Amino acid sequence: MPMKFIPILFFLSTCLVGSWAQNEAPREKVVITSKKQKTRVAINAKGALEVNVSPRNILKFKTTGWVRYSDFGARGDGKADDMDAIAATHAFANQQGLMVKADEGATYYIGGKERTAIIRTDTDWGTASFIIDDTEVQNRNAPVFMVSSSQQSFKLEGISSLKRNQNNIDAALPGSCLISVTNAHVKHYIRFGLNQDNGSPQTDIFVVDKNGKVDMDGPVIWDFDQITDITALPMDEKTLTIHGGRFTTIANQAESKYTYYSRNLAIRRSNVVVDGLEHRITGEGDQGAPYGGFIHISDCAYVTVQNTILTGHKTYRTIGAAGEPVSMGSYDILVNRALHVSFKNCSQTNDIDDRTYWGIMGSNYCKNLLYDRCTLSRFDAHKGVANATIRNSTLGHMGINAIGSGILTVENCTIRGRSIVNLRSDYGSTWQGEIFIRNCLFVPEGGRPSRAVLISGSYSGQHDFGYTCYMPERITIENLHIDDSSHPEDYRGPALFANFNPQMTDDSYRESFPYVKTREVILRKVTTASGKTLRLSDHPFMFKEVQVSSE
């Protein structure tokens, strides 16, 4: 058999969203040959992998239909660094279209070397263990694993503007595509508070079919008067499945500042299922840099994470953009610029009410997010979500935090945060749409003495967030029980709305950037443990025009 040199170039995508952005990792090159020599993995002078697979082994692997990490030299003893062998295994599997299997009972140690294993085929990690050592890392932005598409994105020509809820774009495409659009001349999400910033370029992401028809389950949510960049990424139709794996991160000991670590499983491909994964954390000390999600889903659609156990990260503090001390968000789940992402039957190893750990999930620029049968400390949408559903779940001390649009549904849930829904004040406490709360139990602050508030937020009307801010147009609450049995002596009963603007005491107050208030609230079967009646607000003037109907 003649000698073959098959170069494989891996381009690691960029997700520059939020202060914990996963930056672009360096280009990874793997050269695969089939010399009549033994199968081996080597590193050349430039640090790239050179993989030779013997012709006999190629035949064996094609016959079985899979490869194992041990086939490429992984020891699995928990001591020797197996990252090169792991990356080589996936590179060969990608080339040949083979499944990858971990060796049962193996423990793979992954040191701080800058190396990313690209996953493009089904992978079964089974009960194997992986130790990711972050104590000495060459590149904190380089994922350990990246689920990547073999499809290449391309620029769309001739589209100069878009309208909110536009149902078609003028483009002939090779198939269903993920469209990403930006207008750099407009800034949105101009953050307010201790982590203030100057905002981000107007952006949107949506799915179209080969004829340019927009999937209206995740519609265009902004008017784009001008477009500075628009790209299409063809979507993989076949579902890629990753099963199992017991991961432990030995936490970094870096200075506590906003240098996010992204040593993770990065998913950059549409139609992916992650099933049965476990992630734990050890070695967190007195200081450490935060994490940008062990599972980091970005620039893709139709991803499901199920039957998975994750871990909240210890909260560290630093000096924020306003020059004051702030707690840094640190995440085990991060979802950016993604659509139709579901978390089903997921939980975490630490107490969801333990405030020493940051809330486990964050997201930006997403559409149609789902929690179903989850027990997690937090659901969060920083820079907007269009449509979100939380059902059959229990949310811990950081509860549900969201801004965005469309329908936010909370049903058959237990909420143990400070409110049922917190509309994030740093992004304008805005929800342009409706909220439905059905068949839920609300335990304010996990049963600590507190004054119960159902919908919280804050809006002065004096800050430009880059968009008009809305309260939910309609809020429907059905069959809600509020366990407010633990409360202060002067407690007057639960409030529907928090005190959004204490300075708005009469009609003389002027908002430079007016807030569009809630029009209607529908209450059906709302009960309290204290026996006290649900009130409008401690500050009712702001909500004087809200129509409240109850049964």
Place of tokens 């360096």: 26
Dihedral angle of Cα 387, 391, 395, 400, to the nearest 10 degrees: 20
Give the separation between CA 168 and CA 469, rounded to whole angstroms.
Answer: 27
Q: Give me the residues paired with residue 42 across strands.
A: 50
Q: Give the per-residue pLDDT at 19.
A: 36
- State mean pLDDT over 397-423: 98
* Mean pLDDT of the residues in the chain: 93
Please check the confidence at residue 383 and state whether its pLDDT lies above 90. yes
Question: pLDDT at position 21, please?
Answer: 39
Please report which confidence band the pLDDT of residue 119 belongs to, taking 50, 70 and 90 as the band edges: very high
Mean pLDDT of 124-147: 98
Domains in the chain: boundaries = 1-150+236-349, 154-232, 401-551
| pLDDT of res. 2 | 38
DSSP state letters, 405-421: EEEEEEES-EE-SSSSE
Per-residue pLDDT, averaged over 185-195, amounts to 96
pLDDT average, residue stretch 313-321: 95
The answer on pLDDT for 10 being more than 50 is no
Residue 512: CB atoms within 10 A of its CB come to: 9
Phi and psi at 357, nearest 5°, equal -110, 135
Query: At residue 390, does pLDDT exceed 70?
Result: yes
Does the pLDDT of residue 25 top 50, yes or no? no
62-89 mean pLDDT? 97
The answer to which of 32-46, 373-387, 475-489 has the lowest mean pLDDT is 32-46
Element (H, E) at 136: none
pLDDT of residue 52 exceeding 50: yes
Closest by CA position to 9, among listed 83, 125, 113, 120:
120
Cβ–Cβ < 8 Å for 309, 275: no
**Pairwise pLDDT comparison (7 vs 222), residue with the higher score:** 222
Q: How confident is the model at residue 109 (pLDDT cuts 50, 70, 90)?
A: very high
Residue 12 has pLDDT above 50, yes or no: no
- What one-character DSSP code corresponds to residue 257? S
The two structure tokens encoding residue 427: 């992004």
Give the pLDDT score at 28.
Answer: 59
C-alpha span between 84 and 403 (Å, rounded): 42
Q: What share of the chain is helix, strand, coil (3-state, %, to 5)?
A: 5, 45, 45
Q: CB burial class (10 A; 0-12, 13-18, 19+) of residue 549?
A: exposed
pLDDT > 90: percent of the chain = 91
Q: Residue written as tokens 């799915």?
A: 207
C-alpha to C-alpha distance for 61 and 98, rounded to whole angstroms: 8
Evaluate whether 290 touches 329 at the Cβ level (below 8 Å). yes
pLDDT for res 125: 98
Bridge partners of residue 376, in order along the sequence? 395
Q: pLDDT tens for residues 197-217?
A: 999 999 999 999 999 999 999
**Residue 447 DSSP label:** G
Length of the chain: 551
Tell me how far apart the alpha carbons of residues 414 and 410 are, in angstroms, rounded to a whole number: 9
Q: What is the pTM of this model?
A: 0.94
Letter for the amino acid at 251?
A: A
> What number of CA atoms fall less than 13 Å from residue 484's CA on the CB side?
28
* The predicted structure's pLDDT at residue 7: 37
3-state helix/strand/coil string of 56-114: HHHHHHHHHCEEEHHHHCCCCEEEEECHHHHHHHHHHHHHHCCEEECCCCCEEEECCCC
9 vs 49, residue with greater confidence: 49
Q: How many CB atoms lie within 10 A of CB 208?
A: 21
Q: Which residues pair with 402 in a beta bridge?
A: 381, 423
The one-letter amino acid code at 36 reads: K
Strand 40-43 relative to strand 49-52: parallel, antiparallel, unpaired?
antiparallel
User: What tokens were used for 416?
Assistant: 């143990």
